Amino acid sequence: MTLLERTRSRLHRAASVGLAFLRMGYLQSIAYPLGFFTEQAGALVPAVIYMFVGRLVQRSGPDVGGDYYTYVVTGLLVVQVMAAGVAGFTREIDLAVVRGNFEMLLVEPVPWKLLPFGMVLWPGVLAIGSTLVIGSVSTLLGAQFRLAGIPQALAVAALAMGAGLSLGILSASVKILAKRGDPILFIYMLGAQIFSGVYFPIDLIPSVLRPISWVIPHTYANVAMRKALMPQGAAIPGLSLSQALLALALFNIIGLTVGLWVYGRSMETGRKYGLLAGY
């Protein structure tokens, strides 16, 4: 088999696995319509809450891009997109374990390193869908976005999801061995909510703690998304759009490399101690 044929075969296999997970994710979602609807509707709640908070705060300085409500909503869009990457894989593993078909997934002839990418596809699609809904509803509620920035925003979303996935793979690596509990995810999500600037500019964080913000990919995704989508985003002090995109790209390269290596080690440890089939 030539290199070209091998590559084509691998791509075909990856596409086929991706399609399998997309279809099954879709079927799972529509099998529980009420659960699906309430989950999606729940994502809208913060957008409504912050409309009122925005009115209360009435902050319009350059540090929030001239409009606090749009500033927070943009942060919420990033949270939504990144959550698919960060929590999607772990959540899908949990679901497979609860349903009882995780062991069977591991026996499918799919390289185990392909599973994270396949399993987050549907959560990713859902995240993009709910991001669009949140964006539309918040526009109706008074948020203002720069339509010309949508192509850049899509690039930010793709990189943010990749960076999130690398953390998600790390988190799942622990989950595979620990079965319950998710220390990496817990610590990260807590940190991201406080230190990444979703709800307030990171300049408000005491300088001693601020370095934490710069090691979290959420921070760069927030900066990039605001620069891309907010009408006065360019005025927000700090990194430029291209610098934030570069940082996210680095998170992708390093994070995915490290994440997949740790995941591989975790699976091998699971095989050694017989932890892949028992929960």
Partner 1 sequence: MAESVIDVQGVGKVYAPFPRWLRLLLRSSDKAAVLALDDVSLQVEAGQICAVVGPNGAGKSTLFRVLTGLTTATTGQATILGLDVARQSSAVRRVVGFMPADDRSLFLRHTCLENLIFHGRMQATPGSKLVERANETLEVVGLAHARNRVGFALSAGMRARLQLARAIFHHPSVLILDEPTGTLDPVSSYELVRIIQDLTVERNLAVMLSSHRIEDIEALHDRVLLLNHGKVVYLGNLEKLRAMWEQPRIEVTFEHDENATATALMVREVPGIEVVSVEPPHLVLGTTMGVGELLGHLNGGQGIIKSIQQARMPLRELLAKMLQRQEGQP
| Positions in the binding site for partner 1 (CB under 8 A) | 12-13, 16-17, 19-20, 23-24, 27-28, 31, 99-101, 103-104, 106-112, 174, 177-179, 268-269, 271-277
- CB environment 18-31: b (16+ within 10 A), e (fewer): beebeeebeeebee
Task: Kindly tell me which of 7 and 240 has the beta carbon lying closer to partner 1.
Answer: 7
33 vs 206, beta carbon nearer partner 1? 33
In the complex, minimum distance from the CB of residue 275 to partner 1, in angstroms, rounded to a whole number: 7
Determine the residue type at 203.
Answer: D
Q: What is the dihedral of CA 64, 69, 75, 76, to 10 degrees?
A: 170
Residue type, 34: L
> Residues 153, 194, 139, 43: is their CA dihedral positive or negative?
positive
CB of 181 to partner 1, least distance (A): 8
Shortest distance (Å) from residue 212 CB to partner 1:
24
Nearest Cα neighbor of 51 from 30, 27, 31, 68 is 68
C-beta closer to partner 1: residue 250 or 275: 275
Return the structure tokens found at 236: 């927000």
Smaller CB distance to partner 1: residue 23 or 55? 23
CB 259 within 8 A of CB 166: yes
From the CB of 100, what's the least distance to partner 1, in Å?
3
Q: For partner 1, which is the closer residue by CB, 197 or 270?
A: 270
- In the complex, the smallest distance separating the C-beta of residue 9 from partner 1, rounded to whole angstroms, is 8
**Orientation of helix 183-195 relative to helix 68-99, angle to 10°:** 170
| CA 164 – CA 82 distance, rounded (Å) | 5
118 or 162, CB closer to partner 1? 118
CB of 265 to partner 1, least distance (A): 12
